[in-house]
């Protein structure tokens, strides 16, 4: 029996090893699925009247081999963060997640994702299919029908894996103050679940209606509605403002900046600018930046100290310390464009600052306060959202330190003038005879 399954075991192990390369949550979902499959097979084996040691041996050997094959492949990705850097895990996702310290939000996250898989939180043809499919599965369980048992049991394994994944934060957050992305677990299993629900929906139609004509007509109608529903959903997707903006071309000055950086700047050179602009430059060129959007920084690095040090470099009055920090971070370039202020603050039509967007900001620590005061950097202490893309009543505000715009020397020259002797302009872009973007080489 085991020899016949050897190829399947090998392919499963390889698939398990590489699945996390595309998305880390996929690896976690695959681990859940394999665990639930093992538990199911073990219980199923135990329930049989006739069983032997060899049956258990083959079961354990198959799953151990999947792990033995998959683990080395997976560790090509996971080795560095788990064994070299895990002690430095910063739980950065906490600053852009829902506030799972509130039990009501834990439940809200769970049932919204759970219902979303079955389209039960909306009303469309997929809702109808899911409901009928689920009812038929319940019917076969109550009737203990042996027919279609393997497919039903496989569906239940996938379903239980999805439920654990979508609800894992009930355990991990209270114990460790961490959670993955529950909605991604729903996405990892949703396609398989919907395919099986459609299969059981067809079985239900077959049982309910004896007339072949009625069955065929119903299936044609449902398929047509599914097609129309898919077109509608796709149309809604295309009208999403983020999808629309993705079709817009990048600014001409960013095109030229990208080309210049790719041709003239080494991959290991570090650029200093605002967090949002760094986010864009890194995406366009792959070059490193001193600071990034907080929830997109390396989860195994310190995202806070670089922001405090960047504030000291840009706005402080200790030139010698600035030069030391520039060397420490290997910062070789300073980039400015007209969007500097807008990338950190929200302005009204009159140019008045009305809110913060994504300025330099860190969780409150006395040592950060002292360092900023020592270097004459102006700041404010309060409760803030740390991810500019995720805000609202469900997101926790964190006590933090925010670097104020009063530090700007002026609009087109926000950094302290004591940096100027070390700056050499190597690229610029003009619009209406005004420079709206400038890149400086830092010579120390």
Higher pLDDT, 94 or 37: 37
Residues 273/336, Cβ–Cβ less than 8 Å: yes
Mean of the per-residue pLDDT values of the chain: 85
Instruction: Provide the pLDDT for residue 234.
Output: 81
Residues 293/387, Cβ–Cβ less than 8 Å: yes
Instruction: Provide the pLDDT for residue 50.
Output: 58
Predicted confidence (pLDDT) per residue in 250-295, tens digit: 888 999 999 999 999 998 899 999 999 998 999 899 999 999 888 8
Mean pLDDT of 222-232: 78
Query: Nearest to residue 400, comparing CAs of 80, 95, 128?
Result: 95
Residue 171 has pLDDT above 80, yes or no: yes
Which tokens belong to 196? 């099986």
Q: Determine the distance from the C-alpha atom of residue 247 to the mean position of all C-alpha atoms in its chain, rounded to a whole number.
A: 22
Q: Please, which pLDDT band fits residue 98 given cuts at 50, 70 and 90?
A: confident
Rounded distance between C-alpha atoms, residue 170 and residue 345, angstroms: 36
Instruction: Provide the pLDDT for residue 311.
Output: 96
Residue 1 has pLDDT above 60, yes or no: no
Q: Please, which pLDDT band fits residue 434 given cuts at 50, 70 and 90?
A: very high
Instruction: Provide the pLDDT for residue 101.
Output: 76
> Domain spans of the chain?
1-89, 252-442
**pTM, entire model:** 0.78
Residue 247 has pLDDT above 90, yes or no: no
Judged by phi (left if over 0) then psi (alpha if -120 to 50, else beta), residue 17 lies in alpha
Beta strands at 434-442 and 423-431: parallel, antiparallel or unpaired: antiparallel
Residue 232 has pLDDT above 90, yes or no: no
Predicted confidence (pLDDT) per residue in 360-413, tens digit: 999 999 999 999 999 999 999 999 998 888 888 888 888 999 999 999 999 999
Q: Please, which pLDDT band fits residue 2 given cuts at 50, 70 and 90?
A: very low
Mean pLDDT of 181-202: 84
Q: Please, which pLDDT band fits residue 209 given cuts at 50, 70 and 90?
A: confident
Residue 318 has pLDDT above 50, yes or no: yes
Residues 198/118, Cβ–Cβ less than 8 Å: no
């Amino acid at each position: 029996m085991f020899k016949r399954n050897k190829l399947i075991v090998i392919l499963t192990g390889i698939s398990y090893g590489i699945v996390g390369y595309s998305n880390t949550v996929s690896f976690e979902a695959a681990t859940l699925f394999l665990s639930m499959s093992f538990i199911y097979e073990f219980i199923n084996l135990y329930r049989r009247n006739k069983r032997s040691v060899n049956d258990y041996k083959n079961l354990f050997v198959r799953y151990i081999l999947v792990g033995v094959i998959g683990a080395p492949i997976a560790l090509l990705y996971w080795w560095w963060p788990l064994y070299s850097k895990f002690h430095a895990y910063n739980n950065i996702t906490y600053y852009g997640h829902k506030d799972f310290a509130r039990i009501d939000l834990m439940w809200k996250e769970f049932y919204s994702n759970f219902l979303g898989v079955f389209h039960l939180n909306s009303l469309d043809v997929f809702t109808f299919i899911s409901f009928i499919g689920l009812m038929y599965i319940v019917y076969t369980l109550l009737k203990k029908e042996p027919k279609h048992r393997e497919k039903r049991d496989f569906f239940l394994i996938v379903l239980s894996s999805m439920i654990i994944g979508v609800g894992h934060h009930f355990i991990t957050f209270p114990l460790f103050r961490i959670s993955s992305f529950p909605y991604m677990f729903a996405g990892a299993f949703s396609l398989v679940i919907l395919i099986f629900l459609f299969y059981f929906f067809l079985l239900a139609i077959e049982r309910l209606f004896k007339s072949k004509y009625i069955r065929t007509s119903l299936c044609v109608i449902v398929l047509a509605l599914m097609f129309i529903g898919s077109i509608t959903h796709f149309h809604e997707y295309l009208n999403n403002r983020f999808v629309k903006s993705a079709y817009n071309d990048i600014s001409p000055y960013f095109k030229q900046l990208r080309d210049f950086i790719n041709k003239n700047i080494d991959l290991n050179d570090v650029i200093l600018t605002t967090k949002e602009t760094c986010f864009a430059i890194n995406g366009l060129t792959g070059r490193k930046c001193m600071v990034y959007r907080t929830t997109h920084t390396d989860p195994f690095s310190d995202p806070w100290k670089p922001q405090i040090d960047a504030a000291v470099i840009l706005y402080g009055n200790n030139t010698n310390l600035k030069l030391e920090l520039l060397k420490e971070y290997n910062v070789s370039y300073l980039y400015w464009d007209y969007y500097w202020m807008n990338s950190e603050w929200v302005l009204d039509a009159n140019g008045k600052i009305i809110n913060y967007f994504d300025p330099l900001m860190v969780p409150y620590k006395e040592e950060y306060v002292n360092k900023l005061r020592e270097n004459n950097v102006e700041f404010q202490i309060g409760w803030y959202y740390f991810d500019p893309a995720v805000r609202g009543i469900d997101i926790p505000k964190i006590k933090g330190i925010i670097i104020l715009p009063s530090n700007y020397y002026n609009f087109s020259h926000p950094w302290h003038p004591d940096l100027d002797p070390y700056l050499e302009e190597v690229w610029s872009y003009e619009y209406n005879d005004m420079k709206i973007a400038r890149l400086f080489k830092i010579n120390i």
